[in-house]
A and B are shown apart, each in its own frame.
Chain A
C-alpha cells in the first residue's frame, strides 16, 4: 500500500445554500450562503454564540437545517429532492454520507475504551470499507503521519490533550473524507500543546484537502487560510482572503471582534 494510494482523496467541493436553523424562537443561522472550492482552506471566525459551530454541524448533518441545504460535490447532504420539496434521508443514508465528511471535535471525543489504533481503525471496518487487517495497516500509517506511531497500543486517557487531538484527526482521516471540519480543535488544549495540533492541520492544508476550520487562532488563520469568513448573529458579515478580512476589515463588527482577540 503506497502512501498516495491510501491517504490522498479527491478534495470535495462544498455548497451551503441559504441555511436557516433555529431553536424555538432563537435564530442560530439566518440565511448562510457559502461556496467552497475543492482544496480550499476556509477559516470561520466569530464571537461565541454567533452560530459558527452550528454551521459546521449543519454541514455533516449533526444538526438539521430548518430551511436551506448543504451539498458536497453536488450531492445533497441529509436530504433528497422530492418534486420541489426537500425530504429527509433515512438515518442509514445519512450515516453513509458522513463517511465523506471528517469531523474533529473540540473535546476530541475519542472512544476511551478502545486503544488508539482501534479508535482509528474502527470506522473503516464498521462501515465495510476495509477489512480489519487493511484498516489496521491504514491506522498505523495515519498515526505515524500525525507523529504517534509509537503509541498505537495506548488508551486515549494515557495521552496528552495534543496527542489525543492528533489521534482524533487520524481517526477522521481514516475514512478518506473529501472535506474535514474542525470545531475549535485547539480550544481545549494547554497553550504549549496547541502547536503540535496546528502543525498537523497545516500539513493537511498544504496537501490539498478541503478544510473548514472554526478557530480563535488568528495567526494560524492568516497563515493557512485561503479564505476567512466572519460570522455574527447567524449571518456571514464578511469574507475574503485573510489579507483583506484580517488586515483591512470592512465592517465595524469585524473590526470590533478582531480588536478583542488580537
Chain B
C-alpha cells in the first residue's frame, strides 16, 4: 500500500498537536478519514492470506516433490532449450519485423502489398499449424532446409536430429513473431514526429543514418513496451515446440509427468515458477532498457528501484526522527 504523496513530505511544518491558541490559518489541515478504504484493505489481506495458506498447506501441491524436481538436470536442460529458442526467435523475429515494417512504409506498392499479405497470413495461421507444417515439410525435403534464409542458426544445428528440430522451432516461431513485430515496429516508427524526419532531411543526414540514429531510437520508446509484451507471449509460445519433438521446459515436464504420473501437479508448478522467473527477468531488463531509451524524453529520468529504496529509507528515517522529537 502506498502512502498518499502528501504524507511523506512537508517536513518544514512542525508536527505540533492542536494548539487552540494558534490562529486557524496557521494550523495544518486534518486529513479526511477513509474507513471504507481500510475495510477493503483488511478484506483483501484476509483473502490473500487464505490463498497463501492454502498454497502452502494443501498436500495436493506436494511441495516436497516440487523441491525434488525444480533443479533436476532434465528440467534445467529443458529450460536451456526454452531460453535458446526464445532468444533466437526474439532476435530473428525483431529483425524480420523491422524489414517488414520498412517494406510496409516504403513507397513501392509491391513491397507494401507483400508485407501486408505476410502479416495478414502469419497472424491468421495458428502458430501450432505453422510449426507442424514446417516439421512435415522438412521431413519430406531434408536437403531443402539449407536454402531457407534464416542461415546462421540453421547451419550450426543441421547435424543432429535435435538440432534440426531446434531449427524448425526457431524458424516457425520467428516467422510468426516477425508478423507481430512488424506491426509493433511500424507503430513505433509512425509515432515519431514528422518534424524529426524533416529536420534530419534538412541537415542532409544520410538516409541510413536518419533511420538508425534519429528515427529508430525514438521509435524504440514505443516499440520496447509493446515488443516486450510480444516477447513474454513468445516465451510461453515456446511450449508449443513440444509438438515438433523438441523437449523444452514444458515438454520435459510433460514427458516426466507421463513417467511419474503422481508428480504431474508439482511438475506443473515447477514449470509455472520457471516461467514466472523468466517473465520477471524480462520485466526488469525492460525497465532499464526503457530508462535508457527514455533519455531526453522527460525532463528527468524515473528513479531506479535502488534509488527509490534509498529515498524511501531516508524519508522514513526523517519521519521517525521527527516523530521521536515530539
Contacts and interface: CB of A to CB of B under 8 A. Distances in A.
B205 interface: yes
Given A109-B198, A126-B213, A114 B296 contact: yes
B199 A98 contact: no
Contacts of B203: 98-99, 103, 122-123, 126, 171-172, 175
A113 interface: yes
Contacts of B296: 112-115, 155-157
Contact of B207 (A95, A110, A122, A155): A95
Given A126-B209, A155-B296, A156-B296, A111 B199 contact: yes
A91 B202 CA distance: 12
Contacts of A156: 296
Interface in B159-218: 193, 195-196, 198-207, 209, 213-214, 217-218
A220 interface: no
A110 B218 CA distance: 12
A127 B204 CA distance: 7
* Chain B interface size range: 20 to 34
Contacts of B205: 95, 122-123, 126-127
A158 B301 CA distance: 11
A111 B204 CA distance: 14
A111 B295 contact: no
A6 to B, nearest CB: 18
User: Chain B's interface: helix, strand, loop or mixed, by majority?
Assistant: helix
Nearest to A99: B204
Contacts of A127: 204-206
Interface residues of A, number: 30
Contacts of B204: 95-99, 123, 127, 175
Nearest to B193: A109
B295 A155 contact: yes
A115 B213 CA distance: 13
A98 B205 CA distance: 9
A111 B223 CA distance: 18
A209 interface: no
Interface string A71-100: 000000000000000000001100111110
Contacts of A112: 218, 296-297
A54 interface: no
Contacts of A97: 204
Nearest to B294: A113
Contact of A157 (B196, B209, B297): B297
B196 A62 contact: no
Most chain A CB neighbours (cut-off 10 Å) among B202, B218, B293, B295:
B202
A82 to B, nearest CB: 23
Given A112-B297, A171-B203, 17 more contacts: A62-B202, A92-B207, A95-B204, A97-B204, A98-B201, A98-B202, A103-B199, A109-B199, A111-B199, A111-B214, A112-B218, A113-B217, A113-B218, A113-B297, A123-B203, A123-B205, A126-B203
25 contacts: A62-B201, A62-B202, A91-B207, A95-B201, A95-B204, A96-B204, A98-B204, A99-B204, A103-B199, A105-B195, A105-B202, A107-B195, A109-B193, A109-B198, A113-B218, A113-B296, A114-B296, A115-B296, A122-B205, A122-B213, A123-B203, A127-B205, A156-B296, A157-B299, A175-B203
Interface in A144-198: 155-158, 171-172, 175
Closest 7 CB pairs of A and B: A98-B204, A155-B296, A109-B199, A103-B202, A109-B195, A123-B203, A99-B204
A127 B202 CA distance: 12
